[in-house]
A and B are shown apart, each in its own frame.
Chain A
Amino acid sequence: MKKRRLFAFSTALLMVLSMASCNSGSSVNSKENDSEGQKTIEVWSRGNETDSHGPSLVKAFKDYEKENNVKVKYQFIPHDDAPTKWNAAFASSTAPDVMDIGIVHMMERINLKHIVPLNDYVENWEGKDDIYPSMLDLGTYKDNIYAIAHFPDPQIFAYRKDKFEEAGLDPNSPPEDWDQMLEYAEKLTVKDDNGKVTFAGFTMPTQAARFVANIMIRQNGSLFVDEENNTPNMVTKEAIETFEYMNELHKYTTVFDNNKTDTHPLINDSGAMGYIPNGVLSNYLKNNPDMKDKFGFASNVPGKESAAWCGVWFYTMTSQADDKDLAWDMISYLTSTDVLTNRVEESGLPATFKSVSDNFIEKNPEINKAIMDAVEIGAGNPKVSWATVYEQELDAALESMFYGEKSPEEALETAQENLLKETK
Chain B
Amino acid sequence: MKSYHLQKTCNKICMKTIFILIALIVVFPFVIMVLTALKSNQEITQGLSAFFPKKLLFSNFIEAMKKGDWVRYFINTAIITVVTVSLSLVINSLAGYAFARMRFRGKNTLFYCAMVGMMLPMQVIMIPVFLQIKEIPLLGGNDIWGNGGIGLVNNYAGVILPLIAHPFGVFLCRQFFMGFPKELDEAAKIDGCSPLQIYLRLYLPMGVPIFATLGLLKFVDTWNQYTWPLLVFNDPKMNTVQLALNAFKGETTTEWNYLMAATILIILPILILFIFLQKYFVQGIATTGMKD
Contacts and interface: CB of A to CB of B under 8 A. Distances in A.
Q: Do chains A and B touch in the complex (CB under 8 A)?
A: yes
B130 to A, nearest CB: 5
Contacts of A23: 156
Contact of A84 (B140, B201, B231): B231
A91 B133 CA distance: 12
A279 B250 contact: yes
Contacts of A84: 126, 227, 230-231
List 4 tightest A-B contacts by C-beta distance, closest first. A78-B246, A268-B47, A287-B45, A20-B156
B200 A13 contact: no
Given A3-B200, A17-B157, A91-B130, A268 B49 contact: yes
B201 A2 contact: yes
Interface in A203-253: none
Interface residues of B, number: 52
Given A50-B67, A94-B153, A88 B234 contact: no
Given A25-B155, A92-B153, A46 B251 contact: yes
Contact of B87 (A17, A92, A280): A17
A6 B235 contact: no
A25 B139 CA distance: 10
Contact of B42 (A6, A51, A287): A287
18 contacts: A9-B90, A24-B155, A27-B238, A28-B140, A28-B155, A31-B234, A49-B236, A75-B234, A78-B246, A79-B249, A80-B249, A88-B126, A91-B131, A153-B251, A261-B252, A262-B48, A262-B256, A283-B250
Q: Choose among A13, A92, A279 the residue with the greatest number of B CB atoms under 10 Å from its CB.
A: A92
B251 A279 contact: yes
B134 interface: yes
B231 A85 contact: yes
Contact of A76 (B126, B153, B236): B236
A412 B292 CA distance: 72
A267 B47 contact: yes
B46 interface: yes
A126 interface: no
Given A23-B156, A87-B127, A277-B252, 12 more contacts: A2-B204, A6-B90, A13-B90, A16-B83, A21-B156, A31-B150, A46-B251, A47-B251, A48-B246, A88-B126, A88-B127, A262-B47
Contacts of A92: 130-131, 134-135, 150, 153
A269 B46 contact: yes
Interface string B79-95: 10011001100100000
B160 interface: yes
A262 B157 contact: no
A23 B154 CA distance: 11
B41 interface: yes
Overall SS of chain A's interface = helix
A52 B238 CA distance: 23
B44 interface: yes
B237 interface: yes
A28 B154 contact: yes
Interface in A42-64: 46-52
Contacts of B82: 16
B81 to A, nearest CB: 12
Contact of B238 (A24, A264, A267, A287): A24
- Assign chain A's interface to a size class: 35 or more
Contacts of B227: 81, 84
A25 B140 contact: yes
Interface in A1-50: 2-3, 6, 9-10, 13, 16-17, 20-21, 23-25, 27-28, 31, 46-50
Nearest to A24: B155
Contacts of A49: 68, 236, 247
Nearest to B80: A20
A267 B253 CA distance: 12
Interface in B146-195: 150, 152-157, 160
A85 B201 contact: no
A46 B156 CA distance: 23
B83 A17 contact: yes
Contacts of B156: 17, 20-21, 23-24
Given A50-B67, A94-B153, A79 B250 contact: yes
A68 interface: no
Interface string B221-240: 00000010011001111100
A28 B246 CA distance: 23
A288 B126 CA distance: 42
Nearest to A277: B252
Contacts of A280: 252-253
Nearest to A30: B235
B7 interface: no
Contacts of A27: 154, 235, 237-238
Contacts of B131: 91-92
